[in-house]
Structure 1
Amino acid sequence: MRAGPLLIAAFALGATACSPPPREGRGVLVIAIDDLRADHVSGLGYDRETTPELERLAAEGLRFTQTFSAAPEVIPAHVALLTGCDPRLARRPLLPDGSRFALVNDWLIPRSVPRLAVEYLASGYATAAFVDHPRVSDLFGFDTGFEEFHGFTEGRTGDTPNFGFEGVTGRFMRWLRGQDEDRDWFAYLTLGDLGRAWSEAEPRWAGYFEPRAELAFVPPVTEAARSFFAIANDVWRASDGRLQTLAEYEASYDGALRQLDERLGRLFNRLRGIGRWERTTVCVVGSFGIGFGESGLLLDGGTLSDVDVHVPWILRPAAAADVERGRNIEALASTLDLAPTLLELSEIPKPPGMHGISQLAAGRPGAAAVREHAFSSLGLSEGFSARDATYSFLRTRPGSEGPPSLAHSWFGERNPPGDGWREHLRDRRTAGPGSLEPSSADAEAAAILRAAGEEWFAWIAHARDAYHPAPWREDAPDPILRAELVERGLVAAQP
């Protein structure tokens, strides 16, 4: 009489034992750090141990050593990372009189431009952004694709500021703890702590590194005179009101970077503590760099030289990914490549009209480079920079987008050339990081990069016009040109 119930119980236990375990959600975490230049990261040959935590992260993944930002300023740099497209697509055309809109109307990411967050959202991921700069704003279209967009806000929550590392990561962790364990998620964090290294420096970190004796001088900086060096804002002084030496500025930056690195290590440990680390792909990238006078500009991004656009990029895939880890990838890369690389790693197709190229293939042993040229523009000068595996070429009018008096400083000369344009070719194998040194004499390399840059930005101008039709233009869109843009992968089929 008891056989029936016992058989039913045994069957139930067997069914439970055979059922698959609950699915564990995967995570993708992008941490974009403003003012992070590649040659101050210890794993890229710097002589100070500024980033031991990032070195541990790189040992678990891939480090792309020749990555260049598409732009040296906040808005376009983050446009590039979040869309995988040249950020000029988000710059509205000039008005009929040749002037520009005010800042609030000058930038807008068209809704039909591809978005990394949109692709993750469409694939069922929870999506959220936590930003640390007021210009990374929904006003410019940065919120598209994010279920939750936590913009920059001042003030405090209890004892914790709402901005900076603690504010941004605190909000992120609260959001992550609220996600179901079985749901995939994508989060985008921006950090501006390095830009606050002088105004909000903590004494322990400001003095962590000894200032270099060879930099113990105060460079002449001004916005009103023809000084050799330019500074974007002359309020950066020591707490006692004196002007700081270049050595002190650099040591403060390196100390702030070491502090940020330590905080990143604590964040990674928090992810381990809640059981999310092994299931999360972590991507740390510099959005743009910062200058210490190597290209004539101090303490800000803005030039198109390597100090402002050569950035670190570390990709640590989740544990289940089939990737050979601990490798330095020396192939040329652009910040446009971050979005398609993450999508391929997540097995999500790259959408039409995304300009970047996935770098996963370049990360395989013995693989060839996937990118021939990388381009940068915008910032504080007209023109562009173009790079190949060896050279960095700049064709710019320094100072043309900022205070006119600073043009002399950004040329590094007392008297700029007659038409204001300057070309500079740097061999990255032998020259320093700035653009004030004598230009390389390889005329053929300069000609190739000049032609490549001019062609790229001519097509980008056409793509921008397709996304931003100006009502004051009388000429109708050219269907043949539109078809060519689609074929070249520069716009989606219906921009």
Structure 2
Amino acid sequence: MNVLFIDIDTLRPDHMGCYGYGRNTTPNIDAIAREGVRFDNYYCSDAPCLPSRAALVSGTFGIKNGVVGHGGTAADRFREGITREFRDNRDDWNFHNIFRRAGLYTASVSTFPERHSAWWFQAGFQETYNEGHTGMESGEKVLPYALDWLDRNGTKKDWYLHVHFWDPHTPYRAPESFGNPFENEPLPDNWINSEVFALHKQHVGPHCANEMNMFNDDPCPQWPRFMGRIDSLEDVKKLIDGYDCGVAYADQLTGQIFDKLKELGIYEDTAVIITADHGENLGELGIYSEHATADHPCCHIPLVLKWPGGQKGHVDQELHYNLDLVPTMADLFHVEKSDTWDGVSMAETILDGKDAGRDSLVLSQMAHVCQRSARFGDWLYVRSYHDGFHLFDREMLYNLKIDVHEQKDVKDEHPEICARGAKIILDWQDKAMTESPYTQDPLWTVMKENGPYHTWNSLPAYLKRLEETGRKEGADKLRERYAKQLK
């Protein structure tokens, strides 16, 4: 069997047609969904980019593999230590090696390993192609490598090809020649009204409406779809148009790969996996154009999977992690599984439509904030250890059934739900630390190493900016909360 893995960075399911979005952003992926299985409640266990792919590739939570942040000690895997032999055992049991164990020839087109010095991502691949712009390229630079590889290898039997597009990732780098197919279309989900936006303009924290460029409003002329600041509802639309253009552009490129499979006569017999590393904050919690939190918009990701002989047009509603994909592929290819994996196989869902989900999930983010969240039933319970300078409460609770954009924190009305969420996180942490060969929860490594990487050395200058832009009250609250750090 042949397997094509399309890896689209920063892709929110609710901005895809097959997940109900009102804009025609993903017609090519939508067609795959009609031919396969769409997973509606699929989440990355650890966000954003680097921790998510570390979990996917290892089949283990960040608390066990050590990669939970974007800098410092917790951006590298734990050393295997005394059990390490000639090679690191974890590389032999990683996601990509499942396909080699099954006898497939493996190749990847991705700049991710160099972008994050995550060379372990390449383990299991027999060929790798690095376009060379470390994740800042748009997809027309990536596509030729994939099409050329298929021209040379597509009609051979038993291969696995991983192709990675970055286009929906900030700064929304779809080329200007793509235009804006949504320019004259209103936003399908226009939840950011004038009242909501007025609150966002007073928000404190990086990547808010006043500081789109992390801690300042400097524009990026080379990326015209991305703005330094948002001053109006028209700007909000322009920004979301830019994101949707990135989604649509990645879909268009993906469609050319599908066309190549059809041209070669191998489409029907090729399995197709389409997913992402994380989503994107598009106004939720006052944050724009960043993947900065351990919540629904940031951790909820698509999984669309076409499997020859599997279900067609099936929709799965169960809760799953991205690391569940590792044992799933092992089961589908009938290869040995590692007892170190944390994933639960979804193979029966793909083949027979049977439920194989979980009762709850724990979601983690340590790059922009330090948060752990419990996702269960209709609820999202968020616990913040470092708020990333957003002045989040220690606990937050949202009913996603009626408040998917997390606008109303209902913790005071439902203390019993908060207690349940906190227990889910505590029980998960106890189990993970009991099973882990390491003694340190990397969350606390991040906390002891000056907090999340994307907040390092930025607070004094940001406090000054807040005062200069009419948000002195927020600056005073940050000074009080981070008094020790400012000494």
Same fold (TM over 0.5): yes
Aligned to 1:118: 97
User: What does residue 267 of structure 1 align with?
Assistant: 257
Structure 1 position 79 matched with structure 2 position 58: no
Determine the C-alpha separation between the residues in 2 that align with 1:466 and 1:332.
28
What is the deviation of 1:249? 0.4
Equivalent residues in 2 for 1:45-444 (5 A)? Answer: 45-91=20-66, 101=72, 106-107=76-77, 111-113=88-90, 114-133=93-112, 139-151=118-130, 153-154=132-133, 163-179=137-153, 181-196=155-170, 198-199=172-173, 201-202=175-176, 204-206=178-180, 208-209=182-183, 210=185, 212=187, 220=201, 231=212, 233=214, 234-236=217-219, 239=224, 243-244=229-230, 245-318=235-308, 321=309, 323-363=310-350, 367-378=354-365, 379-400=367-388, 406-408=389-391, 411=392, 417=393, 422-434=394-406, 437-439=409-411, 441-444=413-416
Alignment RMSD = 3.6
Aligned AA for 2:149? W
- Where does residue 474 of structure 2 map in the other structure? none
AA at the equivalent of 1:124: G
> Separation in 2 of the partners of 1:463 and 1:74?
25
Question: Relative to structure 1, is the Cα distance of residues 186 and 266 closer, same or farther in structure 2, using a 3 angstrom cutoff?
Answer: same
Structure 1 gap ranges (5+):
1-25, 95-99, 156-160, 401-405, 412-416, 471-495
User: Contact between 2:51 and 2:67, CA under 8 Å: does it hold in 1?
Assistant: no
Q: Report the CA distance between 1:444 and its aligned residue.
A: 3.4
Residues 295, 436 of structure 1: 8 Å contact kept: no
AA in 1 matched with 2:402: T
**2:419 counterpart of 1:447:** yes
Q: 1:204 to 1:370 in 2, by over 3 A?
A: closer
Distance 1:178 1:363, change over 3 A: closer
Stretch of structure 1 that moved more, 64-73 or 214-223: 214-223
- Report the 3-state secondary structure (helix = DSSP H, G, I; strand = E; otherwise coil) of the residue aligned with 1:260: helix
Q: Render the CA deviation track for 1:41-65: whole Å, top value 9, x for unaligned.
A: 1222222222121111100000000
- String of CA shifts for 1:50-108, please: whole Å, max 9, x gaps: 212111110000000011111221111111222222133332699xxxxx8467x6346
Which residue identity does 1:430 align to in structure 2? Answer: I
Change (3 A) 1:170 1:347: farther
Name the CA distance, whole Å, in 1 between partners of 2:22 and 2:73: 43
Aligned to 1:14: none
**Structure 2 vs 1, CA of residues 188 and 89 (structure 1 numbering), >3 Å: closer, same or farther?**
farther
Q: 2 CA distance for matches of 1:45 and 1:224? A: 31
The alpha carbon displacement at 1:248 in A equals 0.9
**Alpha-carbon shift at residue 170 of structure 1 (Å):** 2.1
Task: List per-residue Cα deviations over 1:147-197 (Å, max 9, x = no partner).
Answer: 123335139xxxxx9943233332233333433845411222222111255
State the match for 1:20 in structure 2: none
Shift of 1:335: 0.8
Distance in 1 (CA, whole Å) between partners of 2:370 and 2:441 is 23
Superposed displacement of residue 250, structure 1: 0.8
User: Does the 8 Å CA contact 1:289/1:308 hold for their aligned counterparts?
Assistant: yes
Deviations 1:195-246 (A, max 9, x none): 2554554254435243548658695489889978764534456749884511
Please give the alpha-carbon distance, in whole angstroms, between the structure 1 residues aligned to 2:208 and 2:148.
Answer: 48
Deviation of 1:451 after TM superposition, in Å, equals: 1.4
The amino acid of 2:271's aligned partner reads T
C-alpha distance 431-124 of structure 1, shift in aligned 2 (>3 A): same
Measure, in 2, the Cα distance between the counterparts of 1:230 and 1:437: 24
CA gap of 1:224–1:308, structure 2 versus 1, over 3 A, is closer
Q: Which runs of 5+ in 2 are unaligned?
A: 81-87, 443-487
Query: Would the alpha carbon gap of residues 362 and 124 (structure 1) be closer, same or farther in structure 2, given more than 3 Å must change?
Result: closer
Task: Write the distance in 1 (CA, Å) between the matches of 2:265 and 2:353.
Answer: 34
- Residue-pair matches, total: 415
In the aligned structure 1, how far is the partner of 2:79 from the partner of 2:176? 37
Cα distance in 2 for residues equivalent to 1:331 and 1:130: 31
Structure 1: distance between partners of 2:54 and 2:107: 16
Q: Which stretch of structure 1 is more off in the superposition, 341-350 or 327-336?
A: 341-350
Aligned position for 1:483: none
Q: Residue 22 of structure 2: SS of its match in structure 1? A: coil
Paired amino acid for 1:347:
H
Taking the aligned partners of 1:369 and 1:341, their CA distance within structure 2 comes to: 11
CA change 1:109–1:59 in 2 (3 A) is: farther
Give TM-score scaled by structure 1 length. 0.73
State the AA in 2 paired with 1:301: H
Q: Is the 8 A contact 1:107 1:140 kept in 2?
A: no
Provide the rounded CA distance (Å) in 1 between the counterparts of 2:253 and 2:145. Answer: 15
In 2, the alpha carbon distance for the partners of 1:93 and 1:180 equals 36
Deviates more, 1:294-303 or 1:107-116: 107-116
* C-alpha distance 203-173 of structure 1, shift in aligned 2 (>3 A): closer
Mean CA deviation greater in 292-301 or 387-396: 387-396
Aligned to 1:489: none
Instruction: Sort the Cα spacing of 1:276 and 1:180 in 2 relative to 1 into closer, same or farther, 3 A.
Output: closer
- What SS class does the counterpart of residue 407 from structure 1 fall into? coil
